[in-house]
Structure 1
Amino acid sequence: MGEMRVALVGIDGTGKTTVLRRLRERDSVRVVHAVRGHEDPDSPYAGLSAALAGASSAADEVGRVQLKVCVLYLQLCLFGPAERQAAADGRTVLADRHPLVDPLVYLPLFARAGRNTVPGTDVDAWWRRQDPDAARAVRDWLRTRTGDTDPWATGTEVLRWGTLPPHDLFETLARRFDVTLPDGVLLLDLPVSEALRRTRERARGGELHETAAFLSATRQRYDAVLDGLSRTHPDTAIRRLPCTGCSVDQLAAQVHDTVAAWSRASPA
């Protein structure tokens, strides 16, 4: 595969991380994880990413979307530097999710669920559920990115972005995360029932938003967002790959072949 930046997106359970791991091992592509950067062995931010993963799990346990979205924001802030580092050696870069695609899907949905704005004791409970050293790293990163250490205020502000018109939300995300759209976006598509079964089998357990209703709404949002991007950003290649009945090797081969075809068709 030639040099390209491509994002794999789709509802939880479609196998994005597993497919990308296979491609990295087999084809030596660079992989950047937008949310779980510590799953990249070359990530310079692995320690902070692992701390943020713990904070995300704590938000799931507390059950407050403001805290979940605050952590998501902090995780996505790591993507731009990681992508630029990965692209520096000229290899193809594949992203597990993308800060200019997935928030367009998720933030409007989260915003509808985040109407209760009173934190009560949940912020303190969230901090206590984290490892103390990891919590310090999260607090420092929150201060670096926002100038404050109030996760509820950050989560509330990010939820407000979800109420913006699509163009304004896109511009806000591009500015806040200092990223551009990739050359291509591949949507791994799977029926909600199968995706839900897979997510429930994960060793780390389910997340706050992993319900049938939410995954169904998310699947519909991906279609709407990608259709919108195809109209407003026609230079970004977009394709949907059905993954029902596909093995990891079969799906990895489809991703490989699609990216290779895009690379051959792109200007030199």
Structure 2
Amino acid sequence: MRVALVGIDGVGKTTVLHRIREQEDIAVVHAVRGHEDPDSPFADLSVALADASSAADDLGRVQLKVAVLYLQLCLFGPAERQAVDRSRTLLADRHPLVDPLVYLPMFARVERDTEPGSDVEAWWHKQQPGAAQAVSDWLLTCSGTTDPWELGTDVLRWGTMPPHEMLSRLGRSFGVTLPDGVILLDLPVAQALRRTRERARGSELHETRAFLSATHQRYGEVLDWMSEARPDLAVRRVDCADRSVDEVTERVRGALESIAHASRNERVDTGH
């Protein structure tokens, strides 16, 4: 069974996943920060991509941010396939066919310059030479180009597509399919924003109150659309407001059991 855990930044996904992984026979894959999985075969590249993402935040250029996000999500498919071999249940921190449906249309609407100026060169210089080479090699492998601006501009165009077209495009690009279920961790924006500002690594480009508020709303819209468009996809919502990590973890376990039950019923109904 494959399940994605999603929600706005600061909602506590990583903390809950750590807790579940410590106590359960569940494989965990991190779609964006793959190096947080101790079994990841791509940890060094994931660290290099995380640094490239921070460099994009420093420059404030959404094209570079989206290009790095694409490269990070390209690691998910191989990691998922490896993790499925380790455990009967896979829990993903974000998912390349769910979260981009939330974020890409929002990034596509951000007012931005169409020309990079000197920022692409500055972005490369902000990275350590060895890490920059690894990012450059992965960029060429995943996109066929060595220009991150070109890649970011192309991916931003996907955000203008109707949802079903974007979903199909993402599936082809990342070589993955929808999970069996999605669990949304729901937290008031004020609490999530406070948590993001307490992070040691600092705030990311999109971590503002207005953007988090819009993202919170967008997650609801995307999951409502998915529930209608893909009835076989089990969607569960977990209210995290003013709840401890233990309480949220227990609710996530309950949601996993509910999805497993729905998945078994689906197989029975379809004769599989």
Q: TM-score range by the shorter chain?
A: over 0.9
Match of 1:8 among 5, 9, 13: 5
Mapping 1:63-102, distance limit 5 Å: 63-102=60-99
Q: Deviations over 1:28-74 (max 9, x none)?
A: 31000000000000001111000000000000001100000000000
Structure 1 pair 169/265, CA: closer, same or farther in 2 (3 Å)?
Answer: closer
Other structure's SS at 1:181 match: coil
Mapping 1:162-201, distance limit 5 Å: 162-201=159-198
Match of 2:22 among 13, 25, 31: 25
Amino acid at match of 1:216: S
TM-score by length of 2: 0.96
Contact 1:86 1:93 in 2 (8 A): yes
Contact 1:114 1:159 in 2 (8 A): no
Q: Deviations over 1:133-158 (max 9, x none)?
A: 10000000001111111000000000
Q: Deviations over 1:179-208 (max 9, x none)?
A: 111111000011111100000000000000
Which residue pairs with 1:225 in the alignment?
Answer: 222
Mapping 1:117-266, distance limit 5 Å: 117-266=114-263
Distance 1:37 1:89 in 2: 16
Contact 1:10 1:187 in 2 (8 A): yes
Match of 2:42 among 41, 45, 48: 45
Q: Using the TM superposition, give the Cα deviation of residue 262 of structure 1 relative to its aligned residue in structure 2, in angstroms.
A: 2.1
Which contiguous aligned blocks of 4+ residues in structure 1 show a shift greater than 3 angstroms? none
Contact 1:66 1:114 in 2 (8 A): no
Aligned residues between the structures? 265
Contact 2:27 2:87 in 1 (8 A): no
Give me the identity figure in percent.
Answer: 68
Distance 1:51 1:117 in 2: 26
Q: Using the TM superposition, give the Cα deviation of residue 114 of structure 1 relative to its aligned residue in structure 2, in angstroms.
A: 5.0
Root-mean-square deviation (CA, aligned residues, Å) is 1.0
Amino acid at match of 2:80: E
Contact 1:12 1:195 in 2 (8 A): yes
Distance 2:33 2:87 in 1: 23
- Structure 2 gap segments, 5+ residues each: 268-272
Other structure's SS at 1:188 match: strand
Q: Using the TM superposition, give the Cα deviation of residue 261 of structure 1 relative to its aligned residue in structure 2, in angstroms.
A: 2.6
Q: Using the TM superposition, give the Cα deviation of residue 266 of structure 1 relative to its aligned residue in structure 2, in angstroms.
A: 2.4
Match of 1:60 among 42, 48, 57: 57
When structure 1 is superposed on structure 2, of 255-264 and 179-188 the one drifting more is 255-264
Contact 2:180 2:263 in 1 (8 A): no
